[in-house]
Amino acid sequence: MNLRAIDARISGYAKAAHFGPTVLVVSISFFISLTQFSTIKSAEISVAIFAGQLVVGWTNDLIDFPLDAAAKRINKPLVAGTINAANLRRAIFIALTFALFLSYMGPMGIKGTAVHTLGLLSATAYNIKLKKTVLSIFPYIVSFGLMPLAVYVSARHRPNLWLELTFITFACSFHFLNVIKDLEWDLAQGVLGLPQRLGKTRSIFLALLLASLGISIAISKWQEMRGA
């Protein structure tokens, strides 16, 4: 295999993992971990979170492969043939093993690993079934609400309510915005999550409302901390 083919395969796995959102989630997890742990331990937690995010992204693309192929979405690595389904299944298993092992053996321990696992199960439930139902928003509430909790319980603390609410509101906002680009295809293929049922206009309105709420919560807390 030449270098160009290797680069194309690596790029394919990165795209299938939804690399942009993955990097964002991992970066946020690192900075949250810094409030509770040293830089080294925070990096260890971030690597475990990264492995978990690979599982979520790859599972999403694997499950959506038939729909993506029918829609001829050649920007998807499986459809483009950059990677294949069999190799992606193996990669998911390896990433899941690393996510759980690194969580348990690292600073997260038993409690943090349990919470991390619940978040992965929630996200996987979205990929398998819930994204096509009116309950599509609930995995975003659960998984993104659990992410800071996993870090804090690892340090034997609980995150402040404002932090969890900020995470959840921004995550739900992203859910409504993320489906807009493929809204017509989703409707045609029977993917009827909450945003698809509400339609483009109402989804955009709710996304902006939720983002504004998240910003308001964060600003309010920042002003409170400055005045303390």
**What's the confidence (pLDDT) of residue 228?**
57
Distances (CA, A) of 80 to 77, 83, 86, 186: 5, 8, 15, 20
**What's the confidence (pLDDT) of residue 115?**
96
How many independent structural domains does the chain possess?
A: 1
**What's the confidence (pLDDT) of residue 59?**
97
**What's the confidence (pLDDT) of residue 182?**
85
Rounded Cα distance, 74 and 60, in Å:
16
Question: For the chain (length 228 residues), average pLDDT per consecutive 10?
Answer: 76 93 94 95 97 96 92 90 94 97 95 96 95 96 94 91 91 92 88 94 96 92 74
Domain span at residue 154 reads: 3-227
Q: Going by C-beta distance under 8 Å and a sequence separation of 6 or more, which residues neighbour residue 28?
A: 147
